[in-house]
Amino acid sequence: MNSTEYWPGDRVPWPGDYEELNVFGTWTGRVELMGEGDQFPDAPRGFCWRPLTARPAAELRAQASEYLRMAETARTGVAREGLRKIADRLVALADLREREERDAKR
């Protein structure tokens, strides 16, 4: 577990969206909006919580690919465009995350 992951029952350090990770560190799909000082919800043994903002660039790019795949099968132009915008934002966030990681190593 790294410094941005928290156990069920821990106190929330700052408000925001948190995602549940399984024992392998993979996102389970469960997201909770938490307030500062709240307790993290129960989860199966070995599962933990991570702020959405702490996702690594590789995960962001993988999710962007998934949204682009969904856009290809969207039935309406509005849905297709919305999914592409989400993918673009995820790619931009991944680019930003990679720059931050490079700068932190310097």
Note the pLDDT tens digit of each residue in 68-87.
Answer: 999 999 999 999 999 999 99
Query: Would you kindly state where each structural domain of the chain is located, as residue ranges?
Result: 16-54, 57-105
* Choice between 20 and 54, residue whose per-residue pLDDT is larger: 20
User: How much of the chain, in percent, has pLDDT values that exceed 90?
Assistant: 70
Residue 54 has pLDDT above 90, yes or no: no
The predicted model scores a pTM of 0.67
Q: What is the DSSP letter of 54?
A: G
Q: What is the DSSP letter of 41?
A: P
State residue 29's pLDDT score: 85
Average pLDDT of the chain, as a whole number: 92
State residue 1's pLDDT score: 61
Residue 42 has pLDDT above 70, yes or no: yes
Note the pLDDT tens digit of each residue in 86-97.
Answer: 999 899 989 998
For helices 77-105 and 57-73, the axis angle rounded to 10 degrees is 170
- At CA 22, angle to CA 29 and CA 8, rounded to 5? 95
